Amino acid sequence: MAQSGWTDKRPMSPHVQVWRWHTTMLGSILHRATGVANYLGLMLLVAWLFAAASGPEAYGAFERVASSIPGTVVLFGFTASILYHAMSGARHLVWDAGHGFNPKLASLLGGLIIVLALGGAAAIWIVAGLAPISLPELGG
């Protein structure tokens, strides 16, 4: 086998092992992934509307699937995905304006957005009465 003439022992291009994971890297990947998830999640909305238009039997079948444990997990994930993508998109708009590039601030906001998306999804589900945990009755 012929020698290529390359004597440098370093990788010729950046490799996964060279990079150290950080919050902004995770945030970028999650922003893209949630964009795809939101696109796919819209199929759930279309299926729900189709079931509602198809009559009580079809809607009941959809409700049984959506209210099952896997269905609930998927719907909660879709809620969190929408919130994360919206907040991350707002962060990208701030970056497009040339602000927020301080590494400490960018990492802080990246982690904060993840926490806010999950917390916001949980709050929406609790307030809407969809979560297994419900708010106590007020008034009387």
The per-residue pLDDT for range 99-123, each reduced to its tens digit, is 999 999 999 999 999 999 999 999 9
pLDDT at residue number 140: 53
Give the dihedral of Cα atoms 95, 112, 124, 89; nearest 10 deg: 10
Q: How many CA atoms lie within 13 A of 102 on its CB side?
A: 5
Confidence class for position 98, pLDDT limits 50, 70, 90: very high
Q: Which fold has domain 23-41+69-128?
A: 3 helical TM bundles of succinate and fumarate reductases (1.20.1300)
- Residue 22's pLDDT is 87
Per-residue pLDDT tens over the stretch 24-59: 999 999 999 999 999 999 999 999 999 999 999 999
Question: What's the pTM?
Answer: 0.80
Extents of the domains making up the chain: 23-41+69-128
